[in-house]
Amino acid sequence: MAIDFSPVRKREVKIMPFAAQFSLDEVRQAANHSVDFLLDLLNDLTDADVTFIPHDPEANDPYAPADQQNIGWSLAHLVLHVTASTEEYAATASVLARGIDYPAEPRIRYEPDWQTTTQTVAECRQRLLESKRMRNAFLDSFPDQPHAHTRWQRSERFIEIFGELDYKGAYLMGLSHEYEHHPQFVEAKRQALAARQNA
């Protein structure tokens, strides 16, 4: 099943009350659905397609080197980005579910360099399947009765916008981020196929 995160993104509801409506089985289904969606996008692509840099007038990555802040993200780059983020939130959710409050820092996040890793369709597929296994493993690490009182200590601005994060809210916040990138994946693929056809 897919989850419609638009109420959270439109700031109509905070993430914890939004997350409360879903069972952990439904959360797992939504996590697997996202990976399966991305795997399906790769089916008819070549290695050149996944490294194609699309035009993106909205590109703005303040964490990138100055010469890379306003370039589009290839499909391979997107795969590395969304899996790193989803795994960070899933890992933190596991900590929270086991009864431990987690501070804002250090973040449990690792994203490989998109310019030196994951340059082929097979590598993108492997990374997605690996991430699917990992995000399911983090759900499996939850106790039978997850702790509901623990929180991830985020910034005041984050809490103002999205609310506090318990274990389920944290897991779904990461998944929401991944879902939000789905249209970017679709557009990057469209441009890559168009470039291949015009070559």
Domain that holds residue 72: 6-198
- Which residue, 64, 102, 86, 97, is CA-closest to 168? 97
Quick one: pLDDT at residue 170?
98
- What is the residue type of 189? K
- The length of the chain, given as a count of residues: 199
CATH number at residue 156: 1.20.120.450
How confident is the model over 29-41, as a mean pLDDT?
A: 98
The tens digit of pLDDT for each residue in 55-103 reads: 988 877 777 777 777 889 999 999 999 999 999 999 999 999 999 999 9
Distance from C-alpha of 195 to C-alpha of 199, rounded to nearest angstrom: 6
**Can you give the pTM of this predicted structure?**
0.94
In a domain, 1, yes or no: no
Quick one: pLDDT at residue 81?
96
Quick one: pLDDT at residue 118?
85
In a domain, 148, yes or no: yes
**Total count of domains within the chain:** 1
Quick one: pLDDT at residue 13?
97
Q: Assess whether pLDDT exceeds 90 at residue 127.
A: yes
| Banded pLDDT at 35 (limits 50, 70, 90) | very high
